Amino acid sequence: MFTTGQLVFTIFFIIAFVTIIYFSYKKDKRLHARQYGGSIKILIGFIFFLIILLLLKSWVKS
């Protein structure tokens, strides 16, 4: 299925990728908190809007 070289490359790639992403996020943590602080309100509003659409769809369909 996969050669030993491909599996070794995949393992090293995943380890390197996760490490880079972790340190990049850790470095920008304060910046993200400042710029995306109100994003949870938008997420809740979007989910609420989708629930309303689904309820209206089921109400109109029946």
Q: Tell me the per-residue pLDDT of 42-57, one tens digit each, with 9 for 90 and over.
A: 999 999 999 999 999 9
pLDDT recorded at residue 62: 67
pLDDT recorded at residue 61: 81
Stretch (H or E) spanning 30 = helix 29-35
Q: Tell me the per-residue pLDDT of 3-37, one tens digit each, with 9 for 90 and over.
A: 999 999 999 999 999 999 999 988 888 888 888 88
Whole-structure pTM value: 0.51
CA angle 36, 26, 9 (to 5 degrees): 120
**Radius of gyration over alpha carbons of the chain, in Å?**
21
